[in-house]
Amino acid sequence: MARPIKQGLDYYPLDVGFLQDVKIRRIMRACGIQSIPVLISLLANIYRNDGYFLRWSPDMSFLIADELGVSEGAVTATVDKAVQVDFFNANMYECYGVLTSEGIQSRFFEAASRRREVRYDARFLLINVNVYKNLVNVDNNPVNVDDNPQSKVKESKVKESKEEGEERTSAAADEIMGYYSSNIHPVSSLVEKDKLIALVETHGDAFVHKAIERAVVRNKRSLAYITGILNRWEANGYDEGISESHKSSRNQWQHSEDYERFMREREEHKRKLRQRGS
């Protein structure tokens, strides 16, 4: 069995001016001196595991509190303040529940630049990583097949199917990027482009299109807001978000042909994702 490829770091740099940083000073003033070991533990967990982000959860809060001998409330308060002062990126925390920042990502990818390969998830990127040549998308894992004619025929069919699927996804992503550029703002970076493509691959173009429409109607023209809508739909099902006073309108929508078609497309997309992962 091949040895697992290491993702995290064995050590990470801590700036000598760490305690003089205004963000750190604000966190200390609000949360007390115990916030410093909490921050250091958070950074250690980020760099040690995925390297450039940490999925935040009640379990992680407990583990850090138990490690340091402080209350879970103290850990949570430190995280909340760190997000507030932009020590951790607020959009990533609100949309995905992850702790990260541009500085953390720059330090990690630079430290890992000499490795044979490094895995990444485009949804969580805040920096342009195209300068690094060793990055591997987490969904692009090779599959070994037997070296016989039957396997080759099967492999050829799978390859053709995959290429057709990629072409459809690419065309759908191009259409979404055009719609996004016309209604939100022009796609300004490769990072933003990668994030849009990831949304189409995860949720399907129909749902991304509908989420963009929602953002325009509410005048919340940002990728973070669109991502938040899609994540809520994925977790809770489709919801037009209409107030209690407009329940009748929502009921009319939920019994309309558009809604039924929308939900069929959503289930079909989820089925294809499951097949792709099998």
- pLDDT tens profile 63-101: 999 999 999 989 999 999 999 999 999 988 888 889 999
pLDDT confidence bin for 159, thresholds 50/70/90: low
Using pLDDT thresholds of 50, 70 and 90, give the confidence band for residue 24: very high
Q: What percent of the chain has pLDDT over 70?
A: 68
Task: Kindly list the domain boundaries of the chain, sorted by start residue.
Answer: 18-137, 149-277
CA distances from 162 to 123, 132, 146, 153, 166 (A): 22, 26, 19, 14, 6
% the chain with pLDDT above 90: 27
98 bridge partner residues: 55
Question: How many other CB atoms are there within 10 angstroms of residue 26's CB atom?
Answer: 16
| Phi, psi (rounded to 5 degrees) for 57 | -160, 165
pLDDT at residue 25 tops 80: yes
Contacts of 173 (CB under 8 A, 6+ apart): 196, 197, 200, 201, 205
Tokens of 213: 């429409």
Strands 54-55, 98-99: pairing is antiparallel
Residue 201: C-alpha distances to residues 185, 232, 247, 258 (Å):
21, 17, 32, 22
Cβ–Cβ under 8 Å, residues 118 and 134:
yes
Angle at 8 between CA 3 and CA 12, to 5 degrees: 140
Contact 57, 42 (CB under 8 A): no
Task: Please tell me the predicted confidence (pLDDT) of residue 51.
Answer: 87
Q: What is residue 115's three-state secondary structure?
A: coil
Query: For 4-18, 26-40, 213-227, which range has the lowest pLDDT when averaged over its residues?
Result: 4-18
- 4-8, 86-90, 142-146, 232-236: least confident range: 142-146
Q: How many CB atoms lie within 10 A of CB 56?
A: 20
If one counts every other C-beta atom within 10 angstroms of the C-beta of residue 77, the result is 18
